[in-house]
Structure 1
């Protein structure tokens, strides 16, 4: 199954809600929807954590409830928080304020090697490489 999500624990083989943690989760979602940053929302809810941890928490569908986990959040709150995150991500993308590296255009090499590589009668690998490099330079 993996790690138990924050807000739950396993009791007698079933997931149960930890009420204090569930209240923090609800408050984190509400704070984020209200305009706080991921990290500030968690800090204000009394559970400081890294923004990446809060982001993963916002994405966890188990908080909506499923066959194993009881629901902590309603669908509207979950959807609003994720829509807010997407909106903020889109704004940052348009402003060019993301840490993602731009996609580089595919490099096209104009180097053509000779059809037959000449016999290498050099004594050392360095001399062989030097000779082949010399052939490439003269090709330009």
Structure 2
């Protein structure tokens, strides 16, 4: 088992509610739902943690209870806090949509002449290796002829 969430302790291999800390968790949820910021709600609850740690407490589903951890927060309060957290994040512009992947027009393979020159400078060696490319096959299956920095679609 990983880290034991704030508000619980392990006794004889089972999670039990730490009464003092669980009261702080309840106060944190109440203060946050009353409109306090994460830092202010944590201060009122007497929890010393960084901003991200308080945010993690508010979104930790274990506080509602699961097979191992007993419930500290009722489901309605947890869901209300999650809705409020998302509302605040959206108002602050902190919701990012995943960008669609852009297909790269990079070739899938090359036809290359055999080279036999060796250079001490790795940049010169790379330049020489690239100069050996005769044709490349594009992602769409078309071929390009490559002659010293010029490309022609075949």
Provide the TM-score with structure 1 as the length reference: 0.74
Q: Is 1:16 aligned to 2:24, yes or no?
A: no
**Is the 1:64–1:78 Cα contact (8 Å) retained in structure 2?**
yes
The 10-residue stretch of structure 1 (115-124 or 37-46) with the greater mean CA deviation from structure 2: 115-124
Paired residue for 2:112, among 110, 113, 117? Answer: 117
- Deviation (angstroms), 1:45: 1.2
Bigger radius of gyration among the two: 2
Question: What RMSD over aligned residues (CA atoms) do the two structures have, in Å?
Answer: 3.0
The 10-residue stretch of structure 1 (14-23 or 25-34) with the greater mean CA deviation from structure 2: 14-23
The separation in 2 between residues aligned to 1:17 and 1:112, in whole angstroms, is 58
For 1:138, the equivalent position in structure 2 comes to: 150
For 1:4, the equivalent position in structure 2 comes to: 4
Higher-helix-fraction structure: 1
Structure 2 unaligned runs (5+)? 132-146
Q: Is 1:37 aligned to 2:25, yes or no?
A: no
For 2:54, the equivalent position in structure 1 comes to: 54
- Deviation (angstroms), 1:78: 0.9
Structure 2 counterpart SS, 1:49:
coil
The separation in 2 between residues aligned to 1:44 and 1:92, in whole angstroms, is 23
Paired residue for 2:102, among 95, 100, 106? Answer: 106
The separation in 2 between residues aligned to 1:8 and 1:110, in whole angstroms, is 53
The separation in 1 between residues aligned to 2:126 and 2:63, in whole angstroms, is 61
Higher-strand-fraction structure: 2
Provide the TM-score with structure 2 as the length reference: 0.68
Alignment length, in residue pairs? 135
Structure 1 unaligned runs (5+)? none
